[in-house]
Amino acid sequence: MPAKRQPARRTARSNTRRATPARRRPATRKHPARRVKIPRRGPLHARLGAWLALRVIAPMVADRQSVMQSRKDAAILRATHKGCTTCHGNGTIYTKSKKTGAWTGSKPCPAKPTKEKVSRWEINKAARVGAEKRSGLVGWTCPCGKKEKPRYRDAKAATSALRAHEKHKHGGTSVGGTWYAQQTEAAALAPSKPGPATKTRAKAATA
């Protein structure tokens, strides 16, 4: 005799609502060159084009975007510190050693900005056009002939890039490379701060 089938149990429906799933954040879209995949099969020119787009074009695009962002940041500092008596419109101050007088680093201008807001069109124009589009940025140069135009926000980042070059080309030993900065015309023509009076200066002043 076949076994009797039992009806399925009915559970009481709970009145509690189901928790709504968390809203997913939209993923940042990659550059079209980064979405390219190298095909394993197919014509040779298609594989070569995909390899060029992935290995050559994508790094160039990323590097260009990094440089333009640094230029825009420097342009914002120049615009907000226009007419500043501390940095003379450069937006960045370069520090010197009191003992040797050598340049030691850079830092943003500590003075209060002269302008609170600037237009986006003005920033884009200052970052792309003109002789001062790299003003406020730092580059580096090496005696071997390799150098980079001003593209870094501070001297620390430029020094790190110089050390990476020395490690790659000179076995990690310094050969006398250094960083340099580009200033605005007003900051370059501004008189430097007078140093501490020495004994000879004091004697000449009293004579």
Measured between alpha carbons, how far is residue 71 from residues 68, 84, 136, 141 in Å?
5, 20, 9, 19
Judged against a pLDDT cut of 60, whether residue 198 lies above it is answered with no
Is the pLDDT at 194 greater than 50, yes or no? no
64-79 confidence digits (pLDDT tens): 788 889 899 999 999 9
Which pLDDT band, with edges at 50, 70 and 90, does 142 fall under?
Answer: very high
pTM: 0.62
pLDDT at 206 over 60: no
Question: Which residues, in sequence order, are CB contacts of 36 under 8 Å at separation 6+?
Answer: 50, 53, 54, 58
CA angle 69, 73, 126 (to 5 degrees): 90
105 in Cβ contact with 158 (< 8 Å): no
Return d(Cα 64, Cα 58) in angstroms, integer.
Answer: 10
Two tokens, residue 200: 């000879």
User: What pLDDT score was predicted for residue 65?
Assistant: 82
pLDDT band with cut points at 50, 70 and 90 for residue 205 = very low
Q: Is the pLDDT of residue 199 over 50?
A: no
Q: Could you give the CA distance from residue 51 to residue 8 in angstroms, rounded to a whole number?
A: 60
Does 94 have pLDDT greater than 60?
Answer: yes
Predicted confidence (pLDDT) at residue 33 exceeds the cutoff of 60: no
The backbone torsions φ and ψ at residue 118, rounded to the nearest 5 degrees and listed phi first, read -130, 155
pLDDT value at position 200? 38
Question: How do strand 103-108 and strand 138-141 relate by DSSP bridges?
Answer: unpaired
Give the CA dihedral 148, 154, 158, 161, nearest 10 degrees.
-120
> How far apart (Å, rounded) are the C-alpha atoms in residues 135 and 153?
10
Report helix, strand or coil for 46.
Answer: helix
Identify the residue with better confidence: 95 or 189.
95
Question: Above 50 in pLDDT, residue 44?
Answer: yes
More confident residue, 132 or 205: 132
> Which comes out higher in pLDDT, residue 64 or 165?
165
Q: What is the pLDDT of residue 47?
A: 77
Top-confidence residue, 134 or 45? 134
**What share of the chain has pLDDT > 70, as a percent?**
73
